[in-house]
Structure 1
Amino acid sequence: MRHYHCNSPEAAGRILAACLLSDGHLGLTELEALDRCGMERRLSLNRSRLLSIVQTLYEDLTRCGYLSWSDVCQVDPATLACLAADVHDRQLRRDIIDLCNEAVMADHSYCDREADFLRLLRDAWQLPAQ
């Protein structure tokens, strides 16, 4: 897994990217919701850079051997904990959680994988459930 500086836009974007992939589908509706919710202002990350981070994350996750798309989309708890450890700033954590919530609700459906991802992320940061 590539390393990003702690609290960097890339570290924040990688967590958001993992969330976006957790249901196995990244759609325009989710990206538009992130734009409306101020992703660029809050994370210093525009849509183009986020999509590049999604691609990089996908490459990192598939390096460990043959995985199906479904397997890649399920970031395991240990990997998510490593990603979460790259963000220490409390406000940045809140912004990431808020943006993740907006993205998963953008398509008006909330699947178990997305719920699990958000729960694991909150657990990693010791944040209360919403």
Structure 2
Amino acid sequence: MHTYSANSPEAISRILALTMIVDGHVSPSEVHAMHHASSLQQVEVHDDTFDRTLRELCEDLLDEAANRRAGMVEIDPALMDHLLMEIRDPLLQIRLWRAMVDIIQADGFLDGRETTLVRRAARAWFGEESAEDAFTTAVLA
């Protein structure tokens, strides 16, 4: 797995990319949501950085996949938590989490893998007790 500096554009891009691919596909509405997320306006993630990081994430996940032939890649929860912890700045965590919610809602379908990722992010960044409430509030907003 590639290693990126905490709070770096690559670490941010990887979380955004993970949010898009966790359900098995990237929809155009999710990409649009990322580019128009008001919570990310002050975060500098350039298209080339995002594209490179998305490619590296996919390569890393395939390299670590236990059964490539099945056509599905399971993301280890410990790996997911490790990637989330690369975002350490509290304000960045809030902005990124809101963008993640916008992305998973963009296609009009909430996949269980998407909600699991967003809940894990809320637990990692905001604490166990607020994870469920934060997600529910964001989805209903």
Q: Which TM bucket (shorter chain)?
A: 0.7 to 0.9
Q: Is the 8 A contact 1:13 1:43 kept in 2?
A: no
Partner of 1:44: 44
Counterpart secondary structure, 1:42: coil
Contact 1:35 1:47 in 2 (8 A): no
- Structure 2 unaligned blocks of 5 or more: 135-141
Structure 1 length as normaliser, TM-score? 0.87
* Partner Cα distance (1:36, 1:46) in 2: 13
Does the CA-based 8 Å contact 1:19-1:100 persist in structure 2? yes
Q: Answer with 1 or 2: which has the greater Rg.
A: 2
Q: Relative to structure 1, is the Cα distance of residues 35 and 122 closer, same or farther in structure 2, using a 3 angstrom cutoff? A: same
Query: Corresponding residue for 2:137?
Result: none
The DSSP-based 3-state class of the residue aligned with 2:64 is: coil
Identity %: 27
Name the structure, 1 or 2, with higher relative contact order (CA <8 Å, separation 6+).
1
The alpha-carbon distance between structure 1 residues 100 and 69, as it changes in their structure 2 partners (threshold 3 A), is farther
Residue aligned with 1:70, SS: coil
Structure 1 unmatched runs, 5+: none
Q: Give me the CA root mean square deviation.
A: 1.8
Task: Give the CA deviation at 1:21.
Answer: 0.6
**1:30–1:106: 8 Å Cα contact kept in structure 2?**
yes
In structure 2, do the counterparts of structure 1 residues 30 and 47 end up closer, same or farther at CA, with 3 Å as the change threshold?
A: farther
Give me the TM-score of the superposition, normalised by structure 2.
0.81
Residue correspondence of structure 1 range 86-101 to structure 2 within 5 A:
86-101=86-101
